[in-house]
Amino acid sequence: MSLDYRDPRRREVLKGLAEGLTAEIQFQLRLYRRQPGLLGFFGDRMVVERRIIRTARYDSFEGRYRIGGQRVQIGYYDSAEEALQAFCSLSGFILADLAALESGRYYVAARVRLTPVKMVAPLNIITLFLPSQTFSSPWLEGGLAP
């Protein structure tokens, strides 16, 4: 699956990076199976849930932007726009391996949480006294292509 976060507030990431701070984005993905017949009354069944976390920072020594994931380096970018696009996009992610014949019974729900300035411990205690600096998208649903 692919997901692209296009909220105008994502520009705030570049401001924080220019000041030497780190940004974080979380892609939360859920795969649901539609329940047929009377079982549908109890709601659809969540099959799998994944949370993909990425961080971004500007390396002033190298003059490049670094995008990292959970235990992996995503890439280095010279351009702020390219870095922002890579940071706010998720492409080619495999949530689950489903048989093509059953894909019509499944759908994906996705949400994005953006933190333009990620505080590190013990400084993150400051966030308790400040207005929320995390932006969340609503849950969006989409069917699977066969």
Q: Are 26 and 52 in contact (CB under 8 A)?
A: yes
pLDDT at 143: 73
> Could you tell me if 144 and 104 are in contact, meaning their C-beta atoms sit under 8 angstroms apart?
yes
- List pLDDT tens digits, range 69-106: 887 778 999 999 999 999 999 888 888 877 665 667 88
Phi, psi at 127, each rounded to 5°: -65, -20
Residue-level pLDDT at 84: 92
Average pLDDT over residues 40-46: 79
What is the percent of the chain where pLDDT is above 90?
Answer: 32
Q: Are 13 and 23 in contact (CB under 8 A)?
A: yes
Token readout for 54 is 């990425």
Domain boundaries, the chain: 3-143
pLDDT tops 50 at residue 23? yes
128 falls in which pLDDT band (50, 70, 90)? very low
